[in-house]
């Protein structure tokens, strides 16, 4: 365990942990999608048909990454992700959670909901060793049946809690039901691969949807990193407690009087 703790995990060239993630969009207008995409200077068509690379330049030159490595490597072009159009869907393959979060809001500005609509994100709940074999393609990582089984179970569990809250005799009983559900979910061991469902098809503010997506991924990223460094029992419950403790420490007593 000591050797593992001392061994760094694999990072991408903008400094984040390497965690493969794939965004899937519903394609509503193929011609408009290609036209809008290829108008962007940060996009470059691949030799492979129906494939485009997204680079850190031009329209997204001011996208912010915390890593100092960026300044050391600014003289070379950095690919942030790859678009693939296949079977009436648009897939955006990325190598970190941060890139996925940036992509959702960035491409919303240039590819409106009449062209494509974000649907799901599939991702891996682990970090990799620097010398570990990493997948050459995301298709070998993400199994549709397994991802849907996990997602559907989570939806069913939530619906069950919602029904019990509606049947609760008092507001206190409903609150207790929600608290128990949250506590149970936060302590569960995360699956290797997981699917996040966007509610962009509903009348939910997309800014709220993207913030929820960021919070969802950030918690899982922290769990993966903490476990890498030896805290094998670390869970989403611990993330919530740590973040709350940090927030309280940053707030002075005078500011809450």
pLDDT in tens, 162-194: 787 777 778 776 777 777 777 776 777 788 888
**CA dist 90 to 149, 182, 201, Å?**
22, 33, 16
Share of the chain above pLDDT 70, in %: 80
pTM of the model: 0.80
Domain for residue 58, yes or no? yes
Rounded Cα distance, 75 and 78, in Å: 9
Of the ranges 29-33, 204-208, 242-246, 251-255, the best mean pLDDT one: 29-33
65 & 133 share domain: yes
Look at residue 106 and tell me whether its pLDDT is greater than 80. yes
Considering its fold, how many domains does the chain have in total? Answer: 2
pLDDT band at 83 (very low <50, low <70, confident <90, very high): very high
128 & 99 share domain: yes
178 & 128 share domain: no
170 & 216 share domain: no
63 & 134 share domain: yes
50 & 159 share domain: no
Output phi, psi for 236, to 5 deg. -65, -30
Rounded Cα distance, 162 and 172, in Å: 14
27 & 79 share domain: yes
Structure tokens at 155: 């939806």
Dihedral (CA of 219, 221, 224, 225) sign: negative
19 & 83 share domain: yes
151 & 117 share domain: no
130 & 176 share domain: no
pLDDT tens for residues 46-75? 888 899 999 988 887 777 776 655 555 556
183 & 206 share domain: no
Which residues constitute the domain of residue 177? 143-190
DSSP state of 58: G
Rounded Cα distance, 200 and 202, in Å: 5
Contact between 16 and 128 under an 8 Å Cβ cutoff? The reply is no
Say how far residue 162 (Cα) sits from the centre of its chain. Answer: 25
185 & 74 share domain: no
At 20 the three-state DSSP class reads: coil
Domain for residue 227, yes or no? yes
């Amino acid at each position: 365990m000591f050797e593992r703790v001392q061994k760094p995990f694999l990072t991408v060239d903008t400094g984040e942990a390497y965690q493969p993630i794939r965004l899937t969009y519903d394609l509503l207008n193929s011609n408009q999608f290609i036209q809008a995409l290829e108008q962007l200077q940060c996009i470059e068509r691949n030799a492979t048909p129906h494939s485009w690379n997204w680079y850190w330049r031009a329209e997204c030159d001011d996208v912010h990454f915390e890593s100092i490595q960026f300044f050391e490597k600014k003289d070379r072009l950095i690919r942030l992700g790859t678009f693939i159009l296949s079977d009436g869907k648009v897939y955006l393959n990325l190598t970190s959670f941060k890139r996925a979060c940036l992509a959702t809001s960035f491409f919303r500005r240039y590819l409106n909901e009449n062209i494509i609509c974000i649907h799901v994100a599939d991702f891996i709940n682990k970090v990799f060793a620097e010398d570990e074999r990493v997948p050459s393609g995301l298709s070998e990582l993400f199994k549709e049946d397994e991802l849907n089984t996990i997602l559907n179970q989570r939806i069913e569990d939530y619906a069950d809690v919602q029904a019990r809250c509606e049947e609760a005799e008092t507001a206190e009983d409903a609150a207790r039901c929600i608290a128990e559900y949250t506590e149970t979910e936060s302590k569960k061991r995360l699956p290797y691969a997981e699917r996040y469902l966007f509610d962009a098809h509903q009348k939910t503010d997309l800014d709220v949807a993207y913030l929820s997506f960021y919070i969802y991924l950030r918690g899982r990223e922290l769990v993966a990193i903490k476990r890498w460094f030896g805290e094998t029992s670390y869970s989403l419950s611990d993330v919530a407690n740590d973040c709350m403790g940090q927030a309280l420490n940053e707030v002075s007593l005078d500011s809450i009087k």
